[in-house]
């Protein structure tokens, strides 16, 4: 966010900004993007392994709720276009299966809002990120570059929100699976 704000400020004063400051701002923006990619590549495998494990655990709670083969808990993330909804479908099934029976044998209702909020925000971040990248690729004016930067910054904010919601989803689902049936 800082790098994006910096680029926008430099472009606001384009006539009076020395070239080396523009180059430094561009380098900082590139470095920030690289760091964001490295963090994503470092955390994605950890999340996918966790996702697979909670899917396997869910079978022990309610096998009939889990309709797709457990291997797809990993594979679904790599299916072009299908990765926009298949992991969400898995997440909902695992969430539902993890809502274990209460002491009297009744099924515990657990709202899916947390799952839906995380997934919707994550998909929105992806869409806005693609739009920002397309705008950033070939801006014809400094104003167009500022607009592209603003769209990329919006994507970054959505990424942050999706990450926070993802953490809340992981924590809640992990707690749901740690509660023993009948508790």
What is residue 183's three-state secondary structure? coil
Cβ atoms 7, 29 nearer than 8 A: yes
Cβ atoms 92, 136 nearer than 8 A: no
Residue 174 tokens, joined? 């992990």
Please give the pLDDT value at position 94: 93
> Structure pTM?
0.86
Tens-digit pLDDT profile for the chain (183 aa)?
899 899 888 888 888 888 899 899 989 989 999 999 999 999 999 999 999 999 999 988 887 888 989 999 999 999 999 999 999 999 999 999 888 766 666 677 789 999 999 999 999 999 999 999 999 898 888 889 999 999 999 999 999 999 999 999 999 999 988 865 444
Please give the pLDDT value at position 8: 87
Q: Please give the distance of CA 84 from its chain centroid, rounded to a whole number.
A: 11
CB count within 10 Å of CB 176 equals 20
Q: What is the rounded distance in angstroms from the CA atom of residue 35 to the CA atom of residue 41?
A: 10
Residues 6+ apart with CB under 8 A from 179: 100
């Amino acid at each position: 966010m800082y790098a994006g704000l910096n680029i926008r400020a430099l472009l606001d004063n384009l006539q009076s900004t020395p070239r080396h400051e523009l180059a430094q701002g561009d380098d900082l923006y590139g470095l920030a993007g690289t760091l964001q990619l490295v963090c994503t590549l470092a955390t994605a495998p950890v999340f996918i392994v966790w996702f697979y494990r909670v899917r396997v655990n869910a079978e022990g709670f309610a096998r009939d709720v889990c309709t797709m083969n457990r291997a797809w808990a990993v594979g679904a993330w790599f299916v072009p276009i299908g990765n926009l909804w298949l992991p969400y479908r898995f997440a909902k099934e695992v969430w539902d299966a993890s809502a274990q029976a209460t002491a009297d044998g009744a099924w515990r209702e657990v709202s899916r809002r947390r799952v839906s909020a995380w997934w919707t925000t994550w998909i929105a971040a992806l869409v806005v990120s693609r739009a920002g990248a397309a705008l950033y690729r070939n801006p014809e004016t400094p104003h167009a570059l500022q607009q592209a930067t603003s769209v990329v910054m919006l994507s970054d904010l959505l990424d942050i929100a999706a990450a926070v919601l993802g953490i809340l989803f992981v924590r809640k689902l992990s707690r749901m699976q740690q509660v023993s049936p009948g508790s």
